[in-house]
């Protein structure tokens, strides 16, 4: 009986939220500028989350170059006992040169399909950044 309860609790804790997004789009304010992002889920992975693709277009503040990026993302990584989930993205970006980048962050609900997100990012040129934004999930 105890083992079955532990398995059920583990499945609930590590399963993704029931309302995982199929499409998402949003706007962000970043340490290096402001931009938009959009993505699409490709595959739902039980107990883990959603695999998808995401693209970003960003306008740099004053003297900073614009950024264009595309990557593969894992989303809807449920954080137990919260309404917040985590995400991570690996991809390529162009910002005055081509670099690989990694991004990770948290997302949470606001109202209906709208939610917030906060993230940190690093690339192969040893540049770091962070941002916050709003996102619509469909």
pLDDT per residue over 23-35, tens digit each? Answer: 999 999 999 999 9
pLDDT of residue 80: 87
- The string of DSSP letters for 53-92 reads EEEEEEEESTTSPPEEEEEEEEEEEE-TTSS-EEEEEEEE
pLDDT of residue 6: 38
pLDDT of residue 63: 85
Q: pTM value?
A: 0.81
CATH of the domain at 68: 2.40.160.20
Residues in the chain, pLDDT under 70: 1-21
User: 90: helix, coil or strand?
Assistant: strand
Residue ranges making up the domain that contains 16: 2-137
Q: Which two tokens stand for residue 94?
A: 């162009």
pLDDT of residue 78: 86
DSSP state of 31: S
pLDDT of residue 106: 97
Number of domains in the chain: 1
pLDDT per residue over 77-95, tens digit each? Answer: 988 899 999 999 999 999 9
Q: Name the nearest CA neighbour of 37 among 79, 98, 87.
A: 87
């Amino acid at each position: 009986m105890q083992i079955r309860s532990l398995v059920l609790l583990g499945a609930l804790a590590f399963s993704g939220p029931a309302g995982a997004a199929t499409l998402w789009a949003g706007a962000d304010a970043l340490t290096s500028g402001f931009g938009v992002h959009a993505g699409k889920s490709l595959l739902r992975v039980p107990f883990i989350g959603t695999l998808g693709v995401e693209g970003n277009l960003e306008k740099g503040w004053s003297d900073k170059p614009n950024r264009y990026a595309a990557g593969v993302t894992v989303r809807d990584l449920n954080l137990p006992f919260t309404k917040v989930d985590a995400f991570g993205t690996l991809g390529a970006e162009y910002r005055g040169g081509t670099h690989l980048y990694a991004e990770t962050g948290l997302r949470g609900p606001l109202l209906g399909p709208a939610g917030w997100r906060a993230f940190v990012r690093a690339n192969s040129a040893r540049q770091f950044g962070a941002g916050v934004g709003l996102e619509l999930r469909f």
